Amino acid sequence: MQIGYARISTHDQNLDLQKDALTASGCENILTDVASGAANDRDGLSQAMEQLRASDVLVVWRLDRLGRSFKHLIETVRTLQARGVGFRSLTEGIETESSGGRLVFHLFACLAEFERSVIRDRTRAGLAAARARGRRGGRPAALTNEVVALTRRMHADPAHTAADICRALGVSRATLYRYLKQHAILPPSCSTVPYAVKRSLDVDQ
């Protein structure tokens, strides 16, 4: 049994072209979706996958109608193959029931793995180059040394509440309190907010 799957991205587009091609190819049932290719939830595809049985064939008009990405396309076809289900794409003339079609998808899988390997290598090289220049990965510090010095002076002035300091620096209260401890403005062993700071927080709430 051949089950067709057709997808368009918006309601402004039309499914007729795909459905006509799938019907002409011998599909007895056609499931459809109106969804972006990047969408995770596609009811039509889910229903098609549920209906497919061993020796059935999933048919699409074009490869990009099935996969959200190259990786997703490969994973979907591998899932079908593991269930004994064939796959056919009309536009590219690919069918996994033939030895030639299976070879094409083996090549696709190799290319996908090659792409992932290149991305990993580039990421490692970029991090190594950044470390060589004295940079480290992760989020930048919210408070620079100059700002910490300003924070120290503002915190020492009773006229400034914690909320005042947060607004001036553009940071959250949690960030402010963490930096107060890290830079010895508050004792490291301090497990609670001091009364003066706590009072200002309570008032702001």
Strands (DSSP E) along 61-168, which ranges? 86-89, 94-95
Say how many C-beta atoms besides its own lie within 10 A of residue 96's C-beta.
Answer: 22
- In the residue annotation, 36 being an active-site residue is answered as no
Token pair recorded at residue 133 = 């220049």
pLDDT by 10-residue block (mean), the chain, 205 residues: 93 90 95 80 91 95 84 85 91 84 74 72 76 62 64 72 74 77 58 42 41
Containing 29, the helix (H) or strand (E) segment is: strand 29-34
pLDDT at 119: 75
For residue 196, with 0-12 CB atoms within 10 Å meaning exposed, 13-18 middle and 19 or more buried, which class applies? exposed
What is the bridge-based pairing of β-strands 2-8 and 57-60?
A: parallel
pLDDT at 2: 96
Among the options 9, 46, 55, 172, which is catalytic? 9
pTM above 0.75, yes or no: no
**Which among 115, 7, 70 is positioned nearest to 78, based on CA atoms?**
70
Give the CA radius of gyration of the chain. Answer: 29
pLDDT at 194: 43
